[in-house]
Amino acid sequence: MEPKLLKASNDLIFKRVFGDARNKDILSSFLMSILEIPKEEYEDITILNPETTIEKADDKRSILDLLLHTKNRNIVHIEVQVRNDPSIRGRLLFYVSKKYSSQLSVGEAYSELNKVISILMTGYELTTGNDYHNVYKLMNCKTGEVFSDDLEIHTLEYKKLPIEEDGTMLYNWLKLIKSDSLEERDMLKEKDVAISRAIDELDRISQDAMIREAYDKREMEIMSYNTNLSIARDEGANEKAIEMAKTGLENDVDIATIVLMTGLMKEKIKSLRGDENL
């Protein structure tokens, strides 16, 4: 029996493939499909956190991100997030700002600061609109003039990939990252040498029983997290609807209107009013 195909959208697997020092050609090709920085920048990539703790694959607190320096010491941070984390924007801003400010020691000149780029790849819709790749910088909202490009955030939402190819290499990379189809991967192998290498690497680690077990743990943790978040949101929405219904009853709004406003059942609203005969 063939081992199941492991998806690179799993952050554990993504880091095993793209964060391995032996696979810098894969990482460079992926980055070149996203970033508009000179090709020479990728000639001397240094991966700063190559370790992957398999034992923590089921730990919801662990973030298996990837941090690296380019040739000119620009900092690039890559995170795969398939858990619908409501705090992701604040956490990402905090992380990018901290990486930027922590570059200098007391007395060093601000001119020594290097660019910090964060790439966030999500398995859920993070932004409005249909674009699967968005870029954020500090800029004038009125004129569009960039105040500074030293802080740059890219969002990649592979759920928004259109069915039809758009001719970009980024499309092919994201198609691979979300894919668990052998047929699809075989077709992608023809697109690019680095993508073919990434697929071979995925096939190789799929043979490892320990990695497969860690992958399953990570997938179960993600599923549990998203389910609990959905339940919490539903409960929150229900509580809000009940408060709206109570306010409506206090203001003598008729039950039919309250049903339309809140989505609650008529019997529930009657019970809130204290009717004995429902």
Chain centroid to CA 118: how far? 11
pLDDT tens-digit profile of 177-212? 998 888 999 999 999 999 999 999 999 998 888 888
Q: What sign results for the dihedral spanned by CA atoms 46, 28, 77, 59? A: negative
More reliable by pLDDT, 239 or 164? 164
**How far is Cα 278 from Cα 271, in angstroms, rounded to an integer?**
7
Residue 54: which pLDDT band, with cuts at 50, 70 and 90?
Answer: low
Residue showing tokens 């204290």:
274
pLDDT tens-digit profile of 111-159? 889 999 999 999 889 999 999 999 999 999 999 999 998 999 999 999 9
pLDDT of residue 143: 96
What predicted TM-score, i.e. pTM, was given to this entire model? Answer: 0.76
**How far is Cα 42 from Cα 9, in angstroms, rounded to an integer?**
23
Per-residue pLDDT at 74 exceeds 50: yes
Per-residue pLDDT at 253 exceeds 70: yes
Residue showing tokens 């997030």:
81
